Structure 1
Amino acid sequence: MSRAVTVVLVDAAGRPLGALPPFEVPDPWWQQVASIVDGARRRHGVDVAVLRLLDADRPHPPGGHVRYLAQLIGAPAGPGAAGGVPLEPATVDRAPHPLRQPWAQVGGPARSVAWAVDELRRLGRPVTAVAQQRTWNLSAIWRLDTPEGPAWLKQLPTFAPHEPTVLTWLTTRSPLRARPVDQGVGVGADLPGDANSLSTEEGIEAGPVVLAVGEEGRVLLEDVPGEDLYGAGEGVRAGVAAAHHRVQLRSVGAVDRLVAAGVPDLRGVGLGAWVRERLAGHDVTVAARLLDGLDKRLRRLRDCGLPDTLVHGDLHPGNVRGDDARRVVIDWADAFVGHPGFDILRLTEGLDAPAAARVVDAWADRWRADAPGCDPRRAVDLLRPVAPLRLAAVYAMFLAGIEPSEHPYHVHDVPAALAQAAELAQAADTA
């Protein structure tokens, strides 16, 4: 599957110039823009910075014909032309929107890249090339090449700014560094070092190295060579689960400090209030019974005896990146403080039932050893329908925080997640 794209250009003052002739790009996912930037340069000889999605000919990704707004880099050759390329007439709503992210505004990409270039220069790493990779409502990403290897600039939305806090805690000896647990459970009393070092015995690190943190959600990250491990099998996932368990153990004693530093607090029945608040205004009829009993279910979950911890929030294999020598858990933007069972459920999605059961059994054995008296299997059973219910609330939070033109990214996710939650709750009730 591919995409057809139309790139509507504006100048440095935000004045519409017209649209480049439509062209095809090989990747179907709307937020991926590297191929758009490359296509504009190769096909039409112009350099652009993609700002945001304008509209599409289908209600949701992937594929289709998609229009983007992009800022022309360099002065236009004349009215109705860019770099000598005739432009087609195009209309653009130039009105500002209060939910528009900084990188989606004219001049926004240039300001972010300039900050990253300055930070890398300060670190003795002059930038030799910059390549825009992604832009959508949840992030903007650029690769910056240096003689010492690439670095990555990621910019986060105003409604989810806490990833740098989590990464700093995971990978440095900061004031928020994890320390031995002292919460009435037998976990991690004498674990040395920082949280990142705990996971290296499985060859999996807890997060990429933070090089700098700036304003407007900017974070500069060290490169992680390799590939994202989408489709990884049982063995890789079992290794991720074992490494992640050690990070979660170490975070038990730091949850209050993480929450104080801005990491979302979804502990206990507080999760229920958080879910209901974000789903207000959405049709939740399909999951009404689950929502009505949610607080009772969360109290039963608490009685299973597992401690609250740092939760990745989206721990699928695609968020593990690396090669045979090194693997790193990436993309902690959905992290929160809450129940550790959320991550094992996400990690085992897509495995066949026997393989998933083996990974969950090993996870449960680790928690029984480190938190004596807990009941991890019962906790997972109780949490299974809550996981997609939380995701429905996350998608609703995204919709509430983005401008309407970008709603197609998530608008269908809310009812789909609610339906899955209801189905899992019904299956558990009839088992």
Structure 2
Amino acid sequence: MSETTGIRTWRDADWRTAALAWAVEQLDRAGLVLEGEPEQPHVRSWSTAIRLPLRSGDAVWLKSVGPGSAQEPVLAEALGRWVPGHVLVPLAVEPSRRLLLLPDGGRTLRGTGSGELAAWEAMLVDHARLQVAVAPHADELVRRGVPDHRPERLPGLVADLLADDEMQLVGRSDGLSRAGRERVVADLGAYARACRELANGGVPASVQHDDLHDANVFVADGRHRFFDWGDASVSHPFLVLLVTLRFAARVLELPNGDPALVRLRDAYLDQWLDFGTTSELRELCGLALRVGPLQRALTWRRILRGVHPEERVEWAGSVPGWTAEHLAPSTLSAEP
């Protein structure tokens, strides 16, 4: 990945002028008129979002992502066609320039109140239904450039990840220790077996958001619309629970293994009963949570490789951090 972008890219006057010109052209095609000054409240090393006020009083958003999230415009457009009721449907996308023009989605789950277990449960049920519906399109998504993190590919990808001294910060105080890497390497045989069991478990690959939490889903009238696909891949769908259950535990102040977290897991898994028994699905979920941290490290490496090197510093610990998480207990480790 040779191209890099970052905060100085998104704040560059020439970049903004060109991106806004594209957005205005798309608004014209949709019969919408920009009125007022664009605002740029979201600027991160890997993406930016610009709010565009309209004459109607509404607003739309122009989003751009870095090379590490190049799949997002393609994926968002495809999901908008396949499962429009479950996602924020783009008004326009420009994959070659990694641009999306998006409607205003309203309030997120975090904004409406994510302090109740039932809110997380309803969100996870809807997300599982989205994944079930998208599963038949997994091969097409890979052909369109969505990263392929299906379980059968993970052992090879992880071997390359562990050999990447630069991104693992090996030998540095804030990086992966050599002893830690040796422990992960020593476990790769068991990791590969877990991946094979996941691949052969009967649950099809699907879109895997990889950063699903209460700020990445809009809620209105009991309807959930998912967005922000910059971390997404095609993988075993159950891997999505790695991040989601951790966020739920943090927001709801639940310890590992709390029955409430098990309830969230089971509500999600119940949507997959066409592909296995409850017992089989729970076993596969355990494998997914074990496989997940190294897959998450792969995602962070991809994102950071697309960021200006000087802007990686703040987030550099994410790759070795998730790699080391492979040796830590899962959120459901104390499950009865």
Provide the TM-score with structure 2 as the length reference.
Answer: 0.82
Aligned position for 1:170: 79
Tell me, yes or no, if structure 1 residue 335 matches structure 2 residue 232.
yes
Between the aligned partners of 1:254 and 1:398, the Cα distance in structure 2 is: 24
Give the secondary structure class of the aligned counterpart of 2:69. Answer: coil
Structure 1 residue 159, shift from structure 2 partner? 2.6
Query: 1:254 maps to what in 2?
Result: 137
The match for 2:14 is 107
Matched with 2:173 is: none
Note the C-alpha offset of 1:276.
2.8
2:26 to 98, 115, 119: 119
The alignment's C-alpha RMSD in Å is 2.5
CA distance in structure 2 between the partners assigned to 1:290 and 1:233 by the alignment: 38
Which residue number in structure 1 is paired with residue 306 of structure 2?
401
SS at match of 1:153: strand
Are residues 1:239 and 2:122 paired?
Answer: yes
Shift in Å at residue 278 of structure 1? Answer: 3.4
Contact 1:398–1:410 (8 Å) recurs in 2:
no
Q: TM-score normalized by structure 1?
A: 0.65
Contact 1:167 1:332 survives alignment (8 Å): yes
Q: Is this contact kept in 2: 1:237–1:348, CA < 8 A?
A: no
- Which amino acid in the other structure matches residue 97 of structure 2? E
Q: Is the 8 A contact 2:210 2:296 kept in 1?
A: no
Change beyond 3 A, Cα 1:302–1:224: same
Q: Residues 139 and 155 of structure 1 are in contact (CA less than 8 Å); yes or no, is this contact kept in structure 2?
A: yes
Higher radius of gyration, 1 or 2: 1
Partner of 1:320: 217
CA distance, structure 2, for counterparts of residue 399 and residue 334 of structure 1: 11
1:196 aligns with 2:84: yes
- Does residue 208 of structure 2 align to residue 344 of structure 1? no
Residues 100 and 344 of structure 1: is their aligned pair in 2 closer, same or farther, counting only changes over 3 Å? closer
Please report how far the alpha carbon of residue 400 of structure 1 lies from its aligned counterpart in structure 2 after TM superposition: 2.4
Question: In the alignment, which of 254, 262, 265 is matched to residue 357 of structure 1?
Answer: 262
- Aligned partner (choices 400, 403, 424) of residue 329 of structure 2: 424
Q: Do residues 140 (structure 1) and 48 (structure 2) align?
A: yes
Counterpart residue number, 2:92:
212
Larger helix proportion of the pair: 2
Give, in angstroms, the shift of residue 301 of structure 1: 2.1
Change (3 A) 1:240 1:422: same
Question: How much has 1:294 moved relative to structure 2?
Answer: 1.9
Which SS does the other structure have where 1:305 is aligned?
coil
Paired residue type of 2:202: G
Structure 2, unpaired ranges of 5+: 171-175
Distance 2:222 2:234 in 1: 30
C-alpha distance in 2 between matches for 1:408 and 1:322: 34
Q: Check the 8 A contact 1:345/1:380 in 2, yes or no.
A: no
After superposing on structure 2, the runs of 4+ consecutive aligned residues of structure 1 that deviate more than 4 Å are 323-326
TM-superposed deviation, 1:292: 4.4
Instruction: Give the conservation status (yes or no) of the 8 Å contact 1:304–1:378.
Output: no
Q: Does the CA-based 8 Å contact 1:248-1:310 persist in structure 2?
A: yes
Residues 1:371 and 2:275 aligned together: yes
Contact kept in structure 2, 1:212 and 1:220, CA below 8 Å: yes
User: Matches of 1:342 and 1:386 in 2, distance apart?
Assistant: 8
Query: Amino acid of the residue matched to residue 269 of structure 1?
Result: E
Q: Contact 1:225/1:322 (CA < 8 Å) preserved in 2? A: yes
Matched residue count: 303
User: Is residue 297 of structure 1 aligned with residue 194 of structure 2?
Assistant: yes
Q: Is the 8 A contact 1:272 1:295 kept in 2?
A: yes
Partner Cα separation in structure 2 for residue 169 and residue 115 of structure 1: 20
Please point out which of 155, 176, 183 is paired with 2:64. Answer: 155
Sort the Cα spacing of 1:408 and 1:366 in 2 relative to 1 into closer, same or farther, 3 A: same
- 1:344 partner letter: L
More divergent stretch after superposition (117-126 vs 137-146) = 117-126
8 Å contact kept, 1:157–1:217: yes
Residue equivalent to 1:63: none
Partner of 1:90: none
